[in-house]
Chain A
Amino acid sequence: MVDIAFGPTPGKRPDPKAPGAAYLAMTRRKRLYGGLILVVFLAMLASGFHAAETRNAGGFLSGLAQLDDFPREVLAEAWTKRANLPALMWAALPSLIETVNIAAVSTLIGVLAASLLSLLATRGLARWPLLTPVIRRLLDAMRAIPEVVIALILIYILGGGPIPAMVAIAIHTTGAMGKLFSEVAENADLKPVEGLASVGATWGQRMWLGILPQVAPNWFSYALLRFEINVRASAILGFVGAGGIGYDLKIAMQWGGGRYDSVVAIFLVLFATIVLIDQLSDRLRHRLVKGAAQ
């Protein structure tokens, strides 16, 4: 038996006289493969960059030389008109509030929809277990559609303004949050749910009282992170025509020289807001994860 297992001919067997040889050979082979993959990867990166450069209007090196032309021009003009900046920043405030509102409302709606859909899509918790794959695919599709697609179509139907951006971001948020929420809910302890079921609680009561208290900190932390992302997204969507500060920025930019002071003012308030929201949500999330005591 032993002879058969080892085979009649001596194959590649670890040499008892040099115990490290096999290990070193394996390491060498691994390193070779790793090196090869790295080389292929770098070649792909380099050729990809070359392809991108040939398809670009301006080249990399010539562009690099004039990289600071535009910022310098903008900043120089803004500096000569620096007295205007506070007033312009104040004037940008309403559209900034609109941008933040778009992000907040879409996060809220998205999170509410995602809470419901994620519970319906979680094995073991779903109200209609047969529907879970359907809802999962639905969430996948909502996640896959870029916001700009929905926003542009809705702008065509509803006209410009905050609603298209809000709906677009809300749909994407629902998809993205639904997946994360459902992963959290999958790990929730089912005992409270069983307990509630034993006293005749409805599905809604079981979820509200049995699951939500368990998942709330995690969900909330994800939602905050999403809010940060959505503020950026709503600023970008403004640029393609959906209200808010992005739209103001686009108008000011298109004006070109002469209104660079308002470009800088808008940029400053946007930057300050993004950093502020990042910091706040960072703090809050830290507290949620580590607990309020610390």
Chain B
Amino acid sequence: MTAATHPLAPALLAGFHRRKLQAIALPALVMLYLCYAFFAFDIPSLFAKARLDNAAILASDFWSYKTHVTRDNRTGRVFAAVEGEAKGAYPAGTFPDWVSQTGATTTIDLGTGHVVTYDATGARFAVPGYGTIDIRPDGAGLKLTAPEPLPDWINASGNRVSVTTDAGRFTYTRSKVETFRYFAGWELFFFTLDSPFAGKGWGELAALALWGDRIDPARSNIAGMAHDIWTNGMWHHADVAGAIFETVLMAFLGTFGGAIIALPLAFAAARNMNPLAPARFALRRVFDFTRGVDGLIWTIILSRAFGPGPMTGALAILITDAGAFGKSFSEALENIDEKQLEGIRSTGANALQRARFGVIPQITPVLLSQTLYSLESNTRSATVIGAIVGGGIGLLLTQAIQTQKDWEEVAYYITLIILMVMTMDSLSGWLRRKLIKGA
């Protein structure tokens, strides 16, 4: 009774009502916008376009590799190669231990009872729980004999039969017959097959490195291992290390170069340091311009002038960051404590001395923390800029993705990029704590 007639009650209730409406309206607006976006982005047709087979290849390649055992049906030559690449080929006449050859017959044991046999008449694939798939050339086509009805994991047309099982894949065409066996891990990550250290276990390698006889009398085993890993032709460890170095270099040069250039400009753009209003205004607009134009456009313009490479990327980061730092540094300068400056001025110091002893000590922590903070985010930008400008790990990554073949390399690069960014993150955090709190 009293509450309803209280003079404040109508205003309060109206306030509640408004807030209640707001609390409902805001999520409703968000939902409405997301609905609009759902159709603007054409999500319904997305699922039709999506290449799930690509996703499957990608997912399996990320953590496994395959070894091809191939017979050329015209010459009868049988050879094995990791991922079918020349760099991963087994020397002629040698095979992994799950492949055996006697005369014209090659037996490939895919494990769990799956056995593929190549012989003079054709090829056979024994699948446990199903039966034997027998394929022979027949005139211009292939003759397939297998228990009927054919399951959907056997795909047979006139001149091509492919069988996909959990143990491996098998393809027979007129010209060649191929069997793929999958293994977990990344193939030949440390040593390619032409290295004497390939295929040895950790214990064996450690023994060789520490007290084993020299495999190559000209160099110690440890040096040989390091050399073979470094020059690995499948993974290009040396190139990848160089690319990571380039990316970090871009971020480092861009960030600190930008900060060094921005510092004097920030003094000229701060209200309490520079009495000339038009100069301040002009500088601010310059900062706005370099910031607003965006790293992308600087990257394009600069790569036309300087060509592709890490310096171009570094300069693109530098220009964008100089604008951003100029703005934030000048704001930091305007917020300093004037008392210290007054104290220095009272001793008769000139402008440079006032800046050195009155201003720099105050703003150094702010400056350092901003600079170090952007070092980490610039490492990420350097990856993207590298992809556009052609340098660093970003370039390797885009190339590996565009070839659409070596997904294990993509996984490797992604891992390295994440590790790189995390390392830079903790490095910048460590430096910030060390330099700012320790001072």
Contacts and interface: CB of A to CB of B under 8 A. Distances in A.
Interface string B42-68: 110010011110110010000000000
Nearest to B50: A158
B307 A56 contact: yes
A158 B58 CA distance: 13
A140 B49 contact: no
Contacts of B388: 236, 239-240
A253 interface: yes
A56 B309 contact: yes
Contacts of A127: none
A26 interface: no
A236 B384 contact: yes
A44 B252 CA distance: 10
A55 B246 CA distance: 8
B305 interface: yes
A146 B41 contact: no
B253 A45 contact: yes
B417 interface: yes
B304 A70 contact: yes
B366 interface: no
B30 interface: yes
Interface in B98-150: none
A156 interface: yes
B210 interface: no
A101 B40 CA distance: 9
B54 A157 contact: yes
B41 A232 contact: no
Given A55-B309, A66-B305, A145-B418, A163 B55 contact: no
Contacts of B52: 157
Contacts of A166: 41
Interface stretch (A4-12, A116-124, A190-198, A270-278): A270-278
A232 B256 contact: no
A35 interface: no
A217 interface: no
Given A52-B311, A56-B312, A235-B296, A70 B401 contact: no
Nearest to A66: B305
B387 interface: yes
Interface stretch (B269-277, B287-295, B339-347): B287-295
Contact of A101 (B37, B394, B425): B37
A48 B22 CA distance: 54
Given A163-B41, A166-B41, A57 B417 contact: no
Given A51-B249, A56-B391, A240-B388, 7 more contacts: A57-B307, A70-B304, A145-B414, A146-B421, A156-B58, A157-B58, A158-B50
**A-B pairs, 9 with minimum CB distance:** A57-B307, A56-B309, A58-B307, A63-B306, A56-B311, A70-B304, A52-B311, A144-B421, A52-B310
17 contacts: A45-B252, A45-B256, A48-B253, A52-B311, A55-B246, A55-B311, A56-B308, A56-B311, A56-B312, A57-B309, A104-B37, A144-B418, A147-B384, A153-B58, A156-B54, A235-B296, A278-B292
